[in-house]
């Protein structure tokens, strides 16, 4: 249930319509409230009485505000569309999510629409006996606020189109994702060793449950699956995870020890625990932000752009994100019930898998770029200084070995090869002295 709620929050946070519609409703409610207050207090009922104007003048002022506000709102909408188009064309369509998540553009557009709705409600609600004061003052304040928001929106849009700011935003998302991955509540009730689960599943004939939907896995309700296993006194293997693309008929679950008759309800119940959508999201997918940064690096290193500086910035943010988990335990792949009995075996996320998702594409993109290759080796060196776990150091050493073997096969100068070899030797010396756990 928590994963489904997180998916709903993700959909709402990246929707363009929610905040503008909400501000339009607030504008309508505020217009009705100000009309009622104007009539209830009367011409002399407030300290704003000196600002009271005639009905015709109020209508003219509100008419000017309404026409100008909706015009500037159209400009703001056009700028937003241009920014999204440029971003999609230059940095890739996967980067659009970071812009859709930004609330300032949606608040600015909603503020213009809300002020417009407010003025329309007030204009339509005036009677011949009214002497407006609060309604006009509030409309002026709202119009001024909308203009201030528009200036901030222009500044934010201009700065957000810079590659470093885009990488910064995605890098912070990666940090949050990896930090949540090693949080205490994410690791509670889970084991790394699979022996206990396999012992519980041994001797039972598995029952395969196929997918009834197609698309990217958004979230998986592990809590609900554990409760289902407890109710049916069985153990379960989940053969997919968030971020995977599934097709109809693909085996998603294997049930061991299920003795009830009939499987139609089982297929429906288990498939209901997985939310499938047309796009990948970062809700439970730790590799989502990794894919975005890799796409930025790939475009930066393409022959048409040839911008190794942007790729190096991506490597730096990858290093910062990995520093959050390089010396921490990751969640186990075996889920326990309340009685500490193994119930569910899931596809977990390993440190080696995250390293491969990051460095394998970067290594392929930068095979002919010495500067980026050198930064990759330096990134591994920095991570190696943050842990003494032999398992983590071994994983870092494997990536370093692959980067060096690829680099020395490239047609580069002897000086560059010597520099890369020096970095590799220093890194190998660091990684070969690690001691500790093998996680």
pLDDT digits (tens, 9 = 90+) for 384-409: 999 999 999 999 999 999 999 999 88
Answer yes or no: pTM beyond 0.95: no
| CA 283-186-231 angle, 5° bins | 95
Domain boundaries in the chain?
2-161, 190-277, 283-328+350-431
Give the per-residue pLDDT at 437.
Answer: 39
Q: Which CATH class is domain 190-277?
A: alpha beta
Of residues 82 and 421, more confidence is placed in 421
Determine the pLDDT at residue 439: 41
Whose structure tokens read 């006009």? 136
Pick from 77-91, 101-115, 302-316: least confident: 77-91
* pLDDT given for residue 373 in this prediction: 94
Closest among 84, 74, 101 to 161, alpha carbons compared: 84
Residue-wise pLDDT for 331-360, tens only, equals 999 999 998 999 999 988 889 999 999 999
What percentage of residues in the chain have a pLDDT greater than 90?
A: 44
CB atoms within 10 A of CB 86: 11
Read off the pLDDT of each residue in 362-371 and give the average, rounded to a whole number. Answer: 90
Summarize the confidence of residues 97-124 as an average pLDDT: 86
The Cα 136–Cα 58 span in angstroms is 7
pLDDT of residue 262: 63
Among 303, 207, 309, which Cα is nearest to 258's?
A: 207
Q: What is the pLDDT of residue 46?
A: 55
Structure confidence at residue 433 (pLDDT): 58
Percent of the chain having pLDDT more than 70? 93
Q: Which residues contact residue 277 at a Cβ distance below 8 angstroms, ignoring those fewer than 6 apart?
A: 7, 215, 216, 218
DSSP helix/strand/coil, 242:
coil
* Rounded Cα–Cα distance for residues 379 and 400 (Å): 10
**pLDDT value of residue 30:** 94
């Amino acid at each position: 249930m928590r994963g489904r709620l997180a998916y709903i929050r993700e959909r709402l946070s990246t929707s363009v319509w929610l905040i503008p519609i909400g501000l339009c409703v607030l504008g309508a409610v505020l217009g009705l409230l100000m009309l009622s207050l104007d009539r209830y207090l009367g011409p002399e009922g407030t300290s704003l009485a000196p600002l009271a104007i005639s009905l015709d003048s109020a209508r003219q002022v509100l008419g000017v505000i309404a026409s100008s506000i909706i015009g500037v709102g159209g400009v703001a909408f056009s700028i937003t569309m241009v920014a999204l188009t440029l971003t999609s064309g230059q940095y890739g369509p996967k980067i659009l999510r970071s812009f859709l998540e930004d609330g300032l553009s949606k608040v600015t557009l909603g503020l213009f629409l809300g002020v417009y709705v407010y003025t329309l409600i007030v204009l339509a609600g005036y009677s011949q006996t009214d002497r407006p004061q609060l309604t006009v003052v509030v409309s002026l304040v709202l119009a001024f606020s909308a203009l201030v928001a528009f200036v901030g929106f222009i500044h934010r849009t201009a700065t957000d189109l810079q590659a470093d700011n885009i990488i910064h935003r995605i890098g912070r998302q990666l940090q949050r994702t990896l930090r949540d991955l090693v949080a205490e509540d994410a690791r509670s009730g889970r084991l790394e060793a699979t022996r206990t689960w396999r012992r519980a599943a041994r001797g039972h004939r598995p029952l395969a449950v196929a997918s009834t939907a197609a698309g990217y896995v958004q979230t998986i309700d592990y809590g609900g699956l554990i409760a289902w296993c407890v109710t049916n006194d069985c153990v379960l293997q989940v053969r997919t995870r968030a971020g995977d693309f599934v097709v109809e008929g693909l085996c998603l679950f294997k049930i061991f020890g299920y003795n009830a008759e009939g499987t139609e309800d089982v297929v429906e119940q288990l498939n209901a625990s997985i939310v499938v959508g047309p796009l990948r999201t970062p809700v439970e997918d730790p590799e989502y932000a990794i894919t975005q940064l890799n796409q930025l690096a790939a475009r930066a290193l393409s022959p048409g752009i040839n911008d190794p500086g942007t790729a190096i910035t991506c490597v730096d943010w990858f290093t910062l994100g990995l520093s959050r988990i390089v010396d921490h335990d990751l969640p186990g792949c075996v889920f326990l019930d309340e009685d500490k009995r193994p119930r569910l075996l899931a596809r977990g996320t390993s440190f080696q898998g995250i390293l491969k998702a990051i460095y394998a594409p970067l290594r392929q993109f930068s095979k002919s770029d010495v500067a980026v290759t050198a930064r990759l080796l330096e990134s591994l060196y920095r991570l190696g200084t943050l842990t003494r776990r032999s398992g983590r150091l071994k994983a870092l050493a494997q990536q370093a070995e692959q980067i060096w073997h690829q680099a020395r096969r490239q047609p580069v100068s002897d000086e560059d090869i010597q520099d890369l070899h020096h970095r590799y030797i220093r890194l190998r010396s660091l990684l070969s002295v690690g001691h500790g756990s093998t996680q």
